Amino acid sequence: MVTATHEASHRLFQEHPEALAPVFEALGLPPPLKTDFHELSPDVTEIRPVERRADTVLRFEPDMGEHFVLAVEAQTKKDPDKAKSWSYYVAYLHAKYDLPVLLVVVCRDRSTASWAMGPFACAVDPWTTQVTRPFVLGPQTVPEVTEEAMVARQPALSALSAIVHSESRRAAAILETVAHGLMSFDPHITKYWFEVVEVGLESTPTRENWRKLMEDVVTYYPGHRTLFEEKYLEGKAEGEAKGEAKGILRVLEVRGLPVSDDVRQRITTCTDLGRLNDWLDRSGTVERAEDLFTREPEASGPS
């Protein structure tokens, strides 16, 4: 089953493979550069229709040093069947690309991470034919982010840290550090990373903490009308306006009043909350939908 954690992992490592830095450090290799990676098809299905698909498959091709394939998987719980699939992925990709294969598994849960390290053996006692040993990016191997400066230097790894450590005792402190550190970027980049982490935290209690932090950080300098704050407030007001417009149309519909295209457009395109509130109050008493506009309050903004 594809989960939000899988989706976050898929996007993170495809777009920012530099988040694999802990893997390369453990292998004694220089820190990875984004330009050294090329995305490969994640499809590992043979002609006979037994579909198998890895989360992310990358080819690592540095100017100097060994080339190899990385298969990245996200795992939220222990699953013996998935361990068998991993063995297949490694064998298939090795044969297809004629390159060594490194399997990387991302886990949020410490016990799942310990299990995912394997080894997973295919054996007829006492003979072992194949052994699969994934490299696990989990609470044991991904560093905890404790400094905002690290977020500025390595946002991809910091986002991964926030996701991986979401079930640890220090989760709240890590999330706060990452949230404030992301504010060093341009607003659209900050928004991107906020969403990456939010998707990765889906189905966890920590997600609500992250959403609250997002709101708090937006007003880190409240009242200063920073670009990020303005964009956030604009989006919030737009959402409230859409909700008010939907409510007005629903009341008119329940009362059986015809709503022309012109009336519908005027209601749905209005962004003045004061005016929308007035229309909502009056939608339960007017005799015609057009009568909403016969007594206009003083506008507080454009409609």
Q: Is 28 left (phi over 0), alpha (psi -120 to 50) or beta?
A: left
- Region 18-22: mean pLDDT is 86
Structure-block tokens of residue 166: 């979401």
The domain boundary, picked from 137, 166, 192, lies at 137
What is d(CA 136, CA 83) in angstroms, rounded to the nearest whole number? Answer: 13
Structure-block tokens of residue 229: 């704050």
Looking at the structure, tell me whether residues 156 and 255 fall in a common domain.
Answer: no
Supply the pTM of this predicted model. Answer: 0.64
The domain boundary, picked from 218, 251, 266, lies at 218
Looking at the structure, tell me whether residues 234 and 285 fall in a common domain.
Answer: yes
Residue 302 lies in a domain: no
Confidence band for 44, pLDDT divided at 50, 70 and 90:
low
Looking at the structure, tell me whether residues 47 and 24 fall in a common domain.
Answer: yes
Looking at the structure, tell me whether residues 125 and 174 fall in a common domain.
Answer: no
Confidence band for 50, pLDDT divided at 50, 70 and 90:
very low
Please list, in sequence order, all residues whose beta carbon lies within 8 angstroms of the beta carbon of residue 294, skipping any fewer than 6 positions away: none
Looking at the structure, tell me whether residues 25 and 90 fall in a common domain.
Answer: yes
Looking at the structure, tell me whether residues 116 and 41 fall in a common domain.
Answer: yes
Looking at the structure, tell me whether residues 115 and 155 fall in a common domain.
Answer: no
Looking at the structure, tell me whether residues 131 and 154 fall in a common domain.
Answer: no
pLDDT in tens, 289-303: 999 988 654 444 444
What's the domain range around 200? Answer: 148-218
The domain boundary, picked from 137, 167, 194, lies at 137
Predicted local confidence at residue 9, as pLDDT: 63
Looking at the structure, tell me whether residues 259 and 196 fall in a common domain.
Answer: no
pLDDT in tens, 132-175: 999 999 999 999 998 999 999 999 999 999 999 998 889 999 99
What is d(CA 134, CA 106) in angstroms, rounded to the nearest whole number? Answer: 10
Confidence band for 49, pLDDT divided at 50, 70 and 90:
very low
Looking at the structure, tell me whether residues 53 and 160 fall in a common domain.
Answer: no
Predicted local confidence at residue 216, as pLDDT: 67
Q: Is the Cβ–Cβ distance between 210 and 198 less than 8 Å?
A: yes
Q: Number of folded domains in the chain? A: 3
- Region 240-255: mean pLDDT is 88
pLDDT in tens, 211-223: 888 776 655 444 5
Residue 62 lies in a domain: yes
Residue 253: is its pLDDT beyond 80? yes
- Region 51-58: mean pLDDT is 73
Looking at the structure, tell me whether residues 162 and 214 fall in a common domain.
Answer: yes
Predicted local confidence at residue 254, as pLDDT: 86
Residue 102 lies in a domain: yes
- Region 116-131: mean pLDDT is 89
Residue 142 lies in a domain: no
Tell me what the pLDDT averaged over the chain comes to: 82
pLDDT in tens, 86-107: 999 999 999 999 999 999 999 9
- Region 107-120: mean pLDDT is 92
Q: Is 244 exposed, middle or buried (0-12, 13-18, 19+ CB in 10 A)?
A: buried
Please list, in sequence order, all residues whose beta carbon lies within 8 angstroms of the beta carbon of residue 53, skipping any fewer than 6 positions away: 42, 43, 44, 45
Q: Is the Cβ–Cβ distance between 259 and 289 less than 8 Å?
A: yes
Q: Is the Cβ–Cβ distance between 16 and 32 less than 8 Å?
A: no
Cα 282 to chain center, whole Å? 42
The widest CA-to-CA distance across the chain, in whole angstroms, is 89
Residue 21: is its pLDDT beyond 80? yes
Predicted local confidence at residue 138, as pLDDT: 92
Looking at the structure, tell me whether residues 269 and 233 fall in a common domain.
Answer: yes
